[in-house]
């Protein structure tokens, strides 16, 4: 029975490890075609055409087909300079 307890403890750890490995930054990116009407089927067709055998998406290929990543051109947030507080009575 001690082996069974170890197995029960190991299964959730293995499940979490597999879930962490399966997610990637590429899958979180959203794409759109600026100034063009398109459907999900249009994107799926282009996504499949731009994906290699290792399931890696070629972003340059999507860009050549007119797709742009949503928010990809936005840089990190810049903190506004602090305004000095007025010195005086009020």
Give the residue ranges of the chain where pLDDT is below 70.
1-27, 71-76, 88-90
Q: Kindly report the pTM of this predicted structure.
A: 0.49
What pLDDT was estimated at residue 80?
79
With a CB cutoff of 8 Å and minimum separation 6, the contacts of 33 are 42, 66, 67, 68
What pLDDT was estimated at residue 51?
93
CB burial of 19-49 (b: ≥16 within 10 Å; e: otherwise) equals: eeeeeeeeeeeebeeeeeeeeeeebeebbee
What pLDDT was estimated at residue 26?
46
What pLDDT was estimated at residue 41?
95
């Amino acid at each position: 029975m001690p082996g069974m307890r170890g197995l029960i403890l190991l299964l959730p750890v293995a499940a979490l490890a597999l879930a962490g490995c399966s997610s990637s930054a590429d899958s979180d990116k959203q794409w759109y075609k600026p100034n063009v009407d398109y459907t999900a089927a249009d994107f799926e067709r282009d996504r499949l055409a731009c994906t290699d055998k290792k399931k890696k998406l070629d972003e340059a290929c999507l860009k050549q087909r007119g797709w742009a990543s949503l928010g990809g051109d936005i840089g990190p947030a810049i903190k506004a300079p602090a305004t000095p507080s007025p010195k005086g009575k009020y």
